[in-house]
């Protein structure tokens, strides 16, 4: 029988742009918990901004020192604790990246991200151990089943980034009617393009500041080898962006805009390059809106709608996984670099540089040979 070790090496983030390793105990499972063998654990822009470079967020909201990092894990259940009801050993799973109390109104809606219980809201990789280790203790209620058609790396991409983007796109509604502007082409912006393309959007325009990422965005396809590009046009961020988007859309602007950069100027571009009656969703986090934003001119008189969107809920994550299989698309295609856990320092440094697509720490069959 498979022997689960007593201890393991995990990676934590001291907050000075380094990664450290430490030995951690693998605890006995409590009621409703499962032990997941980690297979893929991807790095998010939020990890870099809020934990790797400095520890933003204080008290229970902040990263707790020495917590195993990584809030985008996917893996296989190797042990079930007492009282588990649905999942069993051998199941392939994605871990929704926040464990909530399960009983507040937000948790009951499936949005554990905004659980209101100070005592029970704990994000994996922030306030409880996450995916940068060979094993993760997860609560059964935080699991989403990963079907055979999708790889563990696909699953890790769903745990935060793709789930977040799917939620934002469902808020504004994307169809074949839409020209879509995406600002900020990090992993989240690339995910937005992949899902918009799969949902039928015909004219997808991206704006990005980093030349390496512009090159990556231009080269990516809906499915590898399909010849269907993710973007119709990728523009370098600059002062003439609004005019350029208008000229690519018959002078009108896009029907929909997805803001994934968190940059103040790009936020204003997303609003101004959206046509009358159009919708904008803000996904990029932190910072401010440009001081040049004029609500009457930029929103009210053009009858536009703006949404904020924070992560997703449990059922929508399940729905997204079903759609990924239906559309035959693979979020892992956006991963440009895979590292073993021992090279986590290089993985975080690369993601911090921005000269990459998605970066993953992988285990077992998910590591390239």
Ligand X SMILES: NC(=O)c1ccc[n+]([C@@H]2O[C@H](COP(=O)([O-])OP(=O)(O)OC[C@H]3O[C@@H](n4cnc5c(N)ncnc54)[C@H](O)[C@@H]3O)[C@@H](O)[C@H]2O)c1
Chain residues in the site for ligand X (CB under 6 A): 44-46, 49, 160, 164, 183-189, 207-210, 213, 237, 260-263, 265-266, 283-286, 309-311, 354
CA distance 157 to 144: 13
SS3 label, residue 300: helix
What is the nearest approach in angstroms of Zn ion to the Cβ of residue 276?
33
Q: Where are the alpha helices (DSSP H) in 53-137?
A: 105-108
Run of H or E residues at 235: strand 233-236
Percent helix, percent strand, percent coil in the chain, to nearest 5:
30, 25, 40
Q: What is the smallest separation between the CB atom of 163 and ligand X, expressed in angstroms?
A: 8
- The residue within the footprint of Zn ion, chosen from 53, 55, 81, 104 (CB under 5 A), is 104
Distance between CA atoms of residues 220 and 190, nearest Å: 9
Decide whether 134 or 206 has the Cβ nearer to ligand X.
206
Distance in angstroms (rounded) separating the CA atoms of residues 149 and 235: 34
Q: Name the binder of 107 from Zn ion, ligand X, none, CB < 5-8 A by kind.
A: Zn ion
Residue 284 site contact among ligand X, Zn ion, none (CB < 5 to 8 Å, cut-off depends on kind): ligand X
Of the residues 117, 233, 290, 343, which one makes contact with Zn ion according to CB under 5 A = 117
345 burial (CB, 10 Å; 0-12 / 13-18 / 19+) is middle
Task: Assess 234 for contact with Zn ion (CB under 5 A).
Answer: no
Can residue 46 be called a binding residue for Zn ion (CB under 5 A)? yes
For Zn ion, the binding residue among 34, 115, 216, 356 (CB under 5 A) is 115
Q: How far does the chain reach from its first CA to its final CA, in angstroms?
A: 27
Task: Report the nearest approach of ligand X to the CB of residue 236 (Å).
Answer: 9
Gap between the Cα atoms of 291 and 105, Å rounded: 35
Task: Decide which of ligand X, Zn ion, none touches 36; Cβ closer than 5 to 8 Å per partner kind.
Answer: none
Quote the least distance from Cβ 237 to ligand X, whole Å: 3
Distance in Å, CB of 141 to ligand X, minimum = 20
Size of the site for Zn ion (CB under 5 A): 9
> Interface with Zn ion includes 100 (CB under 5 A)?
yes
Three-class DSSP category at 188: helix
Query: In the complex, which residues of this chain contact Zn ion (CB under 5 A)?
Result: 44, 46, 100-101, 104, 107, 115, 117, 160
């Amino acid at each position: 029988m498979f022997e689960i070790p007593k201890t393991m090496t995990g990676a934590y983030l001291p907050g000075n742009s380094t990664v450290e390793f430490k030995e951690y105990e693998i605890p006995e499972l409590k009621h409703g918990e499962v032990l997941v063998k980690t297979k893929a654990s991807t790095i998010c822009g939020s990890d870099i901004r809020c934990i790797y470079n400095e520890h933003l967020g204080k008290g229970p909201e902040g990263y707790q020192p020495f917590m195993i990092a990584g809030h985008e894990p996917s893996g296989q259940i190797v042990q079930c604790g007492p009282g588990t009801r649905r999942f069993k050993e051998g199941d392939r799973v994605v871990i929704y990246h926040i464990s909530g109390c399960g009983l507040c109104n937000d948790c009951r809606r499936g949005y554990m991200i905004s659980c209101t219980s100070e005592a029970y809201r704990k994000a994996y990789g922030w306030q409880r151990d996450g995916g940068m280790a060979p094993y993760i203790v997860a609560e059964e209620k935080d699991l989403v089943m990963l079907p055979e058609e999708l790889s563990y790396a696909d699953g890790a991409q769903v745990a935060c980034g793709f789930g977040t983007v799917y939620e934002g796109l469902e808020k504004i509604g994307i169809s074949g009617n839409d020209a879509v502007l995406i600002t900020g082409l990090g992993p989240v912006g690339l995910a937005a393009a992949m899902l918009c393309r799969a949902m039928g959007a015909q004219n997808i325009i991206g704006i990005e500041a980093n030349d390496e990422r512009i090159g990556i965005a231009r080269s990516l396809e809906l499915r590898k080898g399909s010849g269907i590009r993710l973007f119709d046009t990728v523009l370098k961020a600059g002062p003439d962006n609004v005019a350029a988007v208008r000229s690519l859309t018959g002078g009108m602007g896009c029907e929909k805009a997805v803001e994934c950069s968190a940059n103040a100027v790009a936020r204003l571009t997303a609003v101004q390059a959206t046509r009358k009656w159009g919708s904008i969703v803000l996904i990029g986090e932190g910072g401010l809106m440009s001081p040049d934003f004029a609500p009457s001119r930029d929103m009210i008189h053009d009858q536009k709608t703006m949404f904020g969107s924070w992560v997703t809920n449990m059922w929508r994550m399940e729905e997204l996984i079903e759609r990924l299989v239906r559309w035959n698309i693979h979020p892992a295609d956006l991963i440009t670099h895979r590292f073993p856990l021992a090279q986590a320092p290089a993985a975080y440094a690369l993601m911090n540089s921005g000269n990459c697509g998605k970066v993953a720490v992988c285990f077992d069959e998910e590591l390239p040979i």
